[in-house]
Structures are given as C-alpha cells and as structure tokens.
Chains A and B, each alone.
Chain A
Amino acid sequence: MKVGFFVGCNTAFNRPDLEKAVRYVFPALGIELDNLEGQSCCPTWGTMPSIDLVGWCALGARNYAIAEEKGVDMITVCSTCHGSLARTAYRMQTSPEVRNKVNELLKEVGREFRGTARIRHAVRYLYKEVGPDEITKLLKHRLDGLTVAIQPGCLSLWPKEVFIDKEEDTFHPKVLRELCEALGVSAPHYKQLLECCGMGGMRSTDMEKSFRLVERKMTSMKKEINPDLIVTGCSSCLIQFDTSQEFLQKKGRIYFEIPVLHYMQVLAICLGAEPKMVTGLSRTPVDNIIKRILQG
C-alpha cells in the first residue's frame, strides 16, 4: 500500500515532530509514503479561498495533479488541508464551469486535474485501511488505565458531504475515540467535545476571543473527565491546546495543565518510536505522560 503525504504548512514548520511521527507510523503499519514532490499550501482559507474561487481551486487542483501523476491518494494530519482540498475536489466535480477554468490555468503549467486522486484524513485513513483491531495487535506499548480527552478537529468532520471517509453521524463522531480505545485508554464524552478549539482564522484575528474557546473546552474536560492526556486528530488543535495553556495559567484562567499530543504522535510512541523525535517540540510538558506510556 502506498499513499502521498500532504504535509502542509503548520506540520512542516511549526510541528515537524508531528511530521516525523507520521513518517514513523505509516511505514510501521506497512504503508509506504510518497513525498508528493513540489506540493504547495492547500491553500488555506485566509489566502486564495478568500480572494478568488477559481484561483483557490487551481492551487488545490495542482496538488491533486501531483498525486494523480503518481497514482496515489493523499493523506494529511491537518484538518484545514483536509477541508480545503476536499472542498476543491467537490467544487471541481460539481461545477463543470469551475473545472474548465481551473484546467485552463493548469494547462499553462503543464498540469491537469482528472479527479482520480483523493484527499484523506490520516486518522480516518488508518481507521478504514488498517482498523483498530489490527493496530492493537501491533502495539509495543499500551495506555491501559489512562483517560484521554479527544478533539477530532472541525474540518475532519464537517461538511460531511465533501469527505471520502466520513463519520456516520458527524455530531456523534466515533473514529478517533475507537482508535484511542485501541491503545487501551478510556475516552469518555465531555460536554464541549464537539466544540471548536479556536485556532485558525479566529486566533489570527483576535487571540483573546480565540482563547475563550480553548479555555471553555479545557475547563469542561477537566471538570467532567479529568483526562491524563488530550489527543487531537488535527495539527491546528494540537498547536492551540499546546501553546495556549501557559498563557491561560499566567492569567489565572486555568489552574491545571494537561499534556496534549496528536493521535499520530501517541501511536508512534506505542509502535516503538523514540519519544523525543516525535514529541520534542511540545511546549506544554509531556515527559510524565510519556513515562507512563513507556511503562505500559
């Protein structure tokens, strides 16, 4: 099995330890990663999507064309890349006018969008192509007895209609929960589970308002399930939870600290990766939780 790794911006530059985790997990599960050489930004919402529909789809379609030429689907650990690229393909498939204009633009750079490659969320890809039971069998370390708070990531869920590996019910998601349970943890519901973490356009527009959302989420999970660890399915959520806690503590808005990792990082450690290499850039300390994982 082979799949293209759409690495995106935040993973490559902000959290390359997460990139490292993906590059460890997939081969360890027998899936070869293609580099999709020459890929660009997805492009993210604040750029071409906010300027011009055809320009947005053209940059997205160029990324698809690279995967098509290699005959692979793409995976991403970033919900924004997942959302932007899925919506690009959806527009191209449902609007012949947009598709024609995009292909005219692509022709000038020697590319073509044919619609044969798909963008798939890495977490959902593993759920469907490998499965929780198979993952359990391959674990070197287990997380038995731990409680995690899960954070799937908005654009891994909505809008359902544009995604390949969709949840049956996007308002009762189960994929990330079941994959966490496959590692031995309990991943109970908390009231704010479905809410947005506040990263993305909101954080660049108004950090104070953005932090209100992450504070609400953290307070909810602490009070209701008191988790040992937050596990996200999205690189943006990872960055938001990881970088906001110190600020919230200094301001006296939270009086606790919860380590946070992307599912790919937890899985990498459970499959035998050197923890420093796949979590080394965490700002909220993860040393204690990693010690417990390595004991399991």
Chain B
Amino acid sequence: MKIFEDLQTTAEIALVKNNLAEEIKELGADKLLQCNQCAKCAATCPLVLAGFPFFNKRIIQAILIGARETLLNDISIWACQSCNRCTDLCPRNVNPYEVILATRRMAVREYALPALAVEGIRSLYDVGHAVYLSESGNPRRKLGLPEKPPTTLSFSNALREVQAIMRKTVLADLGIIPMEESANF
C-alpha cells in the first residue's frame, strides 16, 4: 500500500501548488484527493469508448496538476453521461462523476459552457422543463392526452416556485440567462 500513500502525497502537494483542486472540492467533489489514478473508472467510461480526449481519470489528473485552461478549452466534461459506472467501481470512493459535475460548476463560473447547456437552463427557468418542444401539443392531443402535461406547464404557481428557487441560487449572480420575475405562457 506504500505506493498509494505516495500518490496521496502527490495529490496533496498538487493542492499546495494550485487552488484548482481546492475549488473543485468546494464545488461538491469532497473526495477528490482520495484518487490514486488507478484508472478503473476510465476502463468503464463511455467517454473513453466514444473517443473523447478527457474522461474521469484524466479530468482528475488535470485538476491535480492545476491545468485549468486545458479543462476549460475542452468540451469533454459536458459529454459525460452521468452514467455513474465509475461511482460504483471506484475502489477509493472518489466518486469521479461528482468530480466531473464539480468541474462543470467551475467552468460555468468562468462562463465556459456550451450554448446548448445555456439553452437548457433557460428553458428550465422559462417553462420548468430543460427539454421542451412547443410543437408537442398536437401529437399529445392525437394520443388523447391533454395538450400540456400536468407539470409546471399547466400550473403557473408551480412554475413561479421553480423560478423563485432558481433566483435564490448562484445562477442569479452569474447572469447566464435572463431571470425575470413572472412568466407568461
């Protein structure tokens, strides 16, 4: 187990040298420094199979050496499927998937997020659904379903609750999407 202890130390040295690891920890990846780069997570990761340059193991490695710009300039973190195979397999309980989500949170604070993500967030705020197809009313009606599902789309009070919650989060400070008080639909 000596080698694990050494690598743990490497991680700690990395922490002293850069504040990226500390920032990622605070954004939700509290077990980050338990990683010893064994790569079991990579062996099961769909990002690897699909050919993305960064995936769980390499993202953690980049964080530990403080390669902030490298991560910000690469799209891979946004392609994570959140499939959580790595969470189940990690022998050190690092929860690599949480690291990727925390890395996205870091990127969002640097305004390095894809346009499609902004669109999803905006749609979530405007109608309560990240994925929304305004033309879905007709196929729904043909199937004998109400044009709108019984969600925030049908209940304006419910949508206002969602919006009130979102306005109380860091999203309001970031100004990524317009967040007006009430919605008309």
Q: A-side interface residues toward B, CB under 8 Å?
A: 7, 9-10, 12-14, 16-17, 19-20, 23, 35-41, 43-55, 58-59, 62, 80, 83-84, 105-106, 108-111, 154-155, 158-161, 170, 195-196, 198-202, 204-206, 209-210, 212-213, 216, 277, 280-281
Contacts and interface: CB of A to CB of B under 8 A. Distances in A.
Contacts of A161: 87-88
Contact of B79 (A40, A51, A110, A206): A206
A62 B161 contact: yes
B166 A48 contact: yes
Give the dominant DSSP class at B's interface: helix
B158 A40 contact: yes
Give the dominant DSSP class at A's interface: helix
Contact of B142 (A62, A80, A280): A280
Contacts of A43: 124, 130
Contacts of A158: 83-85, 87-88
Contact of A154 (B28, B81, B114, B121): B81
Nearest to B108: A51
Interface size class of chain B, counting residues whose CB lies under 8 Å from the partner chain: 35 or more
B131 A9 contact: yes
B130 A202 contact: no
Contact of A196 (B27, B75, B83): B83
A32 to B, nearest CB: 15
A51 B124 contact: no
A170 B88 contact: yes
Contacts of A159: 84, 87-88, 97
Contacts of A50: 78, 101, 104-105, 108, 113, 117
A200 B82 contact: yes
A105 B144 contact: no
B130 A105 contact: no
B150 interface: yes
Nearest to A61: B165
Which of A51, A52, A54, A202 has the most chain B CB atoms closer than 10 A to its own CB?
A: A51
